[in-house]
């Protein structure tokens, strides 16, 4: 496909997924929602641009970002990546198989614990957790907690301890994100440690 076709298809995917998130027939979650998905799509493009990926590879990443969490709307948290792949493949049924296959690989790369091996897979993993290295984390962490408690029916009195553990074990996989975001992540870790230390 030429870049104009890719651009048009990507726009159509964005409209389709936006429609799914905005549908009255699906649950609306505090964190896994259109705002998060838009952020992952934007950061995927930002990192892809830094590495000068071509139009096709960038398209694969951005479309994977659009679909990577859509499975949350149609079932429990476990297995949402696999459901996202199914929804993506149904939507792109008329597209030559190599593109949906590559998109599928990127969606599945975001499954935790992440062990990406290709640059594309590293990029989407970093785009998905980009906020951990920014001040946005201070807004998203309470939303993640709210959603997890809502979906599991459990409370997590030691939530900050769990989040601290997550951040300390998390890594950015691309040099770009390590340089850009590691310092911010260290600030978020220090903030959590200070909060946990408070009586």
* Tens-place pLDDT, residues 118-135: 999 999 999 999 999 999
Contact between 30 and 143 (Cβ < 8 Å): yes
Pair 20, 26: CB distance under 8 Å: yes
Give the pLDDT of residue 9.
Answer: 95
Return the pLDDT at 117.
94
Convert the pLDDT of each residue in 34-44 to its tens digit: 999 999 999 99
Domains and CATH numbers, the chain: 3-197 (1.10.3210.10)
Q: What pLDDT does residue 40 have?
A: 98
* Whole-angstrom distance, CA of residue 86 vs CA of residue 108: 11
pLDDT band at 5 (very low <50, low <70, confident <90, very high): very high
Q: What is the pLDDT of residues 149-180, one digit of tens each?
A: 999 999 999 999 999 999 999 999 999 999 99
CA distance 89 to 124: 18
pTM score, two decimals?
0.95
Rounded to an integer, what distance in angstroms lies between the CA atom of residue 70 and that of residue 85? 9
Cβ neighbours around 119 below 10 Å, total: 15
pLDDT above 70 (res 93): yes
Give SS3 for 190: helix
Residue 199 pLDDT > 80: no
How far is 5 from 24, CA to CA, in rounded Å?
31
Averaged pLDDT score across all residues of the chain: 96
């Amino acid at each position: 496909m030429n870049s104009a076709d890719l651009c048009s298809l990507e726009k159509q995917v964005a409209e389709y997924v936006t429609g799914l998130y905005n549908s009255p027939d699906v649950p609306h979650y505090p964190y896994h929602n259109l705002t998060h998905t838009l952020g992952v799509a934007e950061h995927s493009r930002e990192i892809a641009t830094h590495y000068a990926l071509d139009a096709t590879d960038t398209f694969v990443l951005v479309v994977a970002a659009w679909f990577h969490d859509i499975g949350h709307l149609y079932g429990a948290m476990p297995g949402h990546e696999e459901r996202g792949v199914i929804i993506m493949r149904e939507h792109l049924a008329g597209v030559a198989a190599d593109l949906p296959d590559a998109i599928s690989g990127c969606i599945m790369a975001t499954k935790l614990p992440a062990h990406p091996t290709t640059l594309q897979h590293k990029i989407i993993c970093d785009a998905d957790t980009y906020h951990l290295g920014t001040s946005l984390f201070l807004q998203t962490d309470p939303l993640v907690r709210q959603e997890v408690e809502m979906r599991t029916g459990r409370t997590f009195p030691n939530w900050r301890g769990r989040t601290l553990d997550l951040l300390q074990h998390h890594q950015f996989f691309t040099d770009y994100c390590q340089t850009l975001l590691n310092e911010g992540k260290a600030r978020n870790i220090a903030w959590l440690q200070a909060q946990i230390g408070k009586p």
